[in-house]
Amino acid sequence: MTALGAQRFLTLPANELPSEKCTQPPSAPGSLSLSPQQSSITVRWSAPADLGGRRDLYYQVEISDPDNLGSFTGTVFLSGSTTSRTISGLRPHTQYCVRVTSHNGVSDQDPDGEHLRTEGECTTTSEARPGVVNGVQGTYPYVVWNPPEEPNGVITGYRLVFSRSGTSTTSTVTTTNDQTFYIIQSSDIPWTSGKFRVTVAAGNSVGFGPQSSTSPLIIDGDSCPTTNCLAQSVGLVRYPATLASTSGPVTVTTQCADNAHVRTGFSLSVRCSSTGSWTGTTPQCECDTGYRAVTVSGRQTCQSLNTCPARNVGLVDYPTTQAPASGSVAVTTQCADNAHARTGFSLSVRCSSSSSWTGTTPQCECDTGYRAVTVSGRQICQTEGKY
C-alpha cells in the first residue's frame, strides 16, 4: 500500500448477507501500533472484541496527508484475517497519522463510523540521507549555498570538498552546524596558486547526501590571502570574521552582545595576526543594569532581570512576563485554542522576582467535540472527526 490511492479486495460469504437478522457492526480494532522506517510505516492491530455476530469482518486502513494531519487521503481495505499492513512511498522524517476501522456487511448501521475505528495514532518516519545542495556560490574566502530541498531529517553539518582539475588531490572540510556559509582557511587548500573547485554536501544523523555537482564553484587561488581569523563568541564578546594581512596584524574592534557594555578597564580592541589567530588583550563585556547573563544554545546573552519565560504546560500557555524587583505579579494564563479551564482550577499564576512561576498549577481541557493530541511536542485540541 502506498500513501495515496485506494484498494478493495474482499468477498462477502454466501450465507452472510447484509440483511441477516440479529447482527450488528463490529467494535473498533484494538492495540493499534506503528513502526516507522525511512519511507514506510508498518501498522499492526488486533481483532475487535465484538464481531457483531458475523463472520464477514474486514478492515479499512487510512493514512493522513503529511501536509494536513486531519485529512486521511490514503485508504486500503483488507480481509478480516489480516492484522498488519506496511504503508510505503512515504517521506522521510515526516509525521503521519494512521487509523484502522472495522467493517462488516451491516457497518452502515453506524453511519459516522466513530464506534468502529481506532483513535488516530501518529508517528514520524525515520531520517534518510539529505538531498543535493544547490546554489553554491561565493568569492574567496566566502562560500555560501542553499540548504537541500529534501533535508530528510535535521541537518547537523555540511561537507565541503576542494578539488583541482588535472590532479587527484582533494581536501575535505566538515562543519558541525547548519549554517549555510563557510570561510575558507589557508589550511583548507593545498594549492598556493591556480583555480580549484568547491562542492558541498549536507549531512544529518544518517550521513551525508551527494556532493553538489552542477556548475561547481570555481575559486581563483591566485587571489587567496594567506589566512584569516574566524568569527567567534567569547562570553558576551563578539569577534567578527576578519581577513588577515601578510604584512602584519590587523586591528579589529569587537562588539558586546545586545544589552551589554565593555567592562571598566577593558578595551574592545584586538588584533588578527598573519597566522590566523586573535592576539592582544582579551575584551570583557558585562550586562547593562536590569539585565543578567544567561547561556542560550551554548551562547551567552543578556536577559532582562525578573523575567518569567513563556512556556507551554499541557494545554496551558504561559506568557513572557516581567516581574517587579521584589515580590511578584499576577498573570492570567491562557488555554490553547478550542480548550477551556478545567472545573475547579484557576488560570491565575504569579511571576516572582526570582524569575519563577509560582501559585497553583492551571489545568485546561478540550471543548466538547475536540480531543487533545500531541503535535511536534505540543498539545493542541483537534476535532474528534479528524480521527
Can you give the pLDDT at residue 11?
Answer: 46
Grid cell at residue 335: 488555554
The CATH number of 5-124 is: 2.60.40.10
Summarised one tens digit per residue, pLDDT across range 210-227 is: 999 766 777 776 655 555
Grid cell at residue 278: 586573535
DSSP one-letter string for 297-340: TTEEEEEETTEEPPEEETTEEEPPEEPPSSSEEEEE-EEPTTEE
Residues in CB range of 87: below 8 A, 6 or more apart: 1, 2, 3, 40, 41, 42, 43, 61, 63, 74, 98
Can you give the pLDDT at residue 6?
Answer: 45
Can you give the pLDDT at residue 223?
Answer: 58
- Cis check for the bond before 141: say yes or no (omega within 30 of 0): yes
Can you give the pLDDT at residue 246?
Answer: 62
Can you give the pLDDT at residue 304?
Answer: 75
Can you give the pLDDT at residue 137?
Answer: 87
Let me know: does 104 contact 52? Beta carbons within 8 Å: yes
Do 5-124 and 307-386 come out as alike in CATH topology? yes
What residues in the chain have per-residue pLDDT under 70?
1-21, 110-115, 192-193, 214-215, 221-227, 245-247, 297, 376, 385-387
Can you give the pLDDT at residue 1?
Answer: 52
Q: What's the Rg (C-alpha) of the chain? A: 30
Can you give the pLDDT at residue 113?
Answer: 63
d(CA 259, CA 305): 12
Can you give the pLDDT at residue 287?
Answer: 92
Let me know: does 247 contact 227? Beta carbons within 8 Å: no
Going from N- to C-terminal start, the domains of the chain cover 5-124, 134-223, 228-304, 307-386
Which listed CATH number (3.40.50.1820, 3.40.980.10, 2.60.40.10, 2.30.40.10) goes with 134-223?
2.60.40.10
Domain 307-386 has CATH 1.10.1740.10: no
Cα–Cα distance list, 116 to 51, 66, 81, 100, 150 (Å): 11, 24, 17, 9, 37
Summarised one tens digit per residue, pLDDT across range 56-85 is: 999 999 999 888 877 888 889 999 999 999
